[in-house]
Amino acid sequence: MNISFPQKFHVRQNVALSEYTSIRVGGKAAFLSEINDQNSFIELFQFCLQENIRLLTLGGGTNVFFPESGFDGLVAIIKFNNITVHADDSVTAEAGASLSALNRVCVDHALTGFEFSSGIPGTVGGAIYGNAGAYGRSVSDCLIAAKILTPKGKVQNVENNYFHFSYRASQLKKNGAILLEAEFQLQKGEMAEIKKRVDEILALRRKKLPPADVATAGSYFKNILDEHGNKTAAAVFLDAVDSKQTSVGDAAVHQKHANIFYNRGHATASDLLRLEEILKQRVLDKFGIRLKREVMYIE
């Protein structure tokens, strides 16, 4: 592709996407830019619209992988990350703020309601896109308003109902709008209590998840919801089909968690997808259940 981007966007060419994904899987992005402020992002988005360039927004890259062929367009890494606490105990966070930074701010201001997200890697943008959550709560529970960029490149202020949140899903997955910033409603609490809850959650996560330096994208498959909305962890079915003993090339299932795929070194997307197919088939044969991928594979 021969495109000349205005210099102000600091666009680089042929950048390895493995460097921008926590599972370290992906070929090269034709173009990549790290964007530090909302206005530059809006301008870049509008430029790509005009020039008909495919644009993909990434936050922390903790829930995605790419094919060996990479991404034939521009990957915009969202870095704007201001967090502002308001007098009414709401908090505005820009899309590139990490959930861990937001958590820290909540603890420091004795605000409760966001503790569930302790230890979830990635950014506010990625979390709202996939309605990230843990321990029975998700970001949709405290989001009250947001500023988005519509697929046509217009800035719009929206409320929670715009997102049609459900389990690990939001409207952003369907319509391609981009989250610029989000406002969460929290409540005043006891700082010591909040800190204790955060520490408890972090300890629980340390016990059941691989160490932080393992290259993963979190839970590979979605949990199973029955018709009454009751959830069964996908790991229960995966454990029963010996997922932890299964690997394809350097794509393997971590010994600590039957639903966490990881990259032992040189795993490719093809390895991950083959491993996915094998385990899906086993679970289907044994339980009649069709697992669905939670991690995003972006072709």
Closest to ligand FAD by CB, 89 or 275: 275
Around Cβ 50, how many Cβ atoms within 10 Å? 9
* Backbone φ and ψ of 70, nearest 5°: 80, -150
* Backbone φ and ψ of 160, nearest 5°: -50, -45
Interface region with ligand FAD, contact rule CB under 6 A, candidates 6-14, 114-122, 152-160, 181-189: 114-122
Instruction: Scan for tokens 């007098």, then name that residue.
Output: 87
Interface region with ligand FAD, contact rule CB under 6 A, candidates 7-15, 210-218, 233-241, 268-276: 210-218
Element containing residue 45 per DSSP (H, E): helix 38-51
Give the nearest distance from C-beta 1 to ligand FAD in angstroms.
Answer: 20
C-alpha 123/C-alpha 106 separation (Å) is 15
Interface region with ligand FAD, contact rule CB under 6 A, candidates 117-125, 184-192, 241-249, 283-291: 117-125
Residue 216 is a binding residue for ligand FAD (CB under 6 A): yes
Residue 3 is a binding residue for ligand FAD (CB under 6 A): no
Taking CB under 6 A as the criterion, the residue among 15, 120, 252, 279 binding ligand FAD is: 120
Closest to ligand FAD by CB, 147 or 282: 147
Instruction: Scan for tokens 């094919």, then name that residue.
Output: 67
Taking CB under 6 A as the criterion, the residue among 9, 29, 31, 60 binding ligand FAD is: 60
How many residues lie near ligand FAD (CB under 6 A)? 32
Give the nearest distance from C-beta 98 to ligand FAD in angstroms.
Answer: 8
In order of 95, 108, 165, 280, the CA distances from 146 in angstroms are: 10, 23, 13, 36
User: Which of these is catalytic: 138, 219, 243, 247?
Assistant: 219
DSSP labels, 68-123: TT-EEEEEEEE----EEE-TTSEEEEETT-BHHHHHHHHHHTTEES-GGGTT--SB
Maximum C-alpha span of the chain: 57
Tell me which residues touch ligand FAD (CB under 6 A).
22, 56-64, 78, 95, 120-123, 125-127, 129-130, 132-134, 172, 178-179, 209, 216-218, 296
Q: What is the set of active-site residues?
A: 168, 219, 294
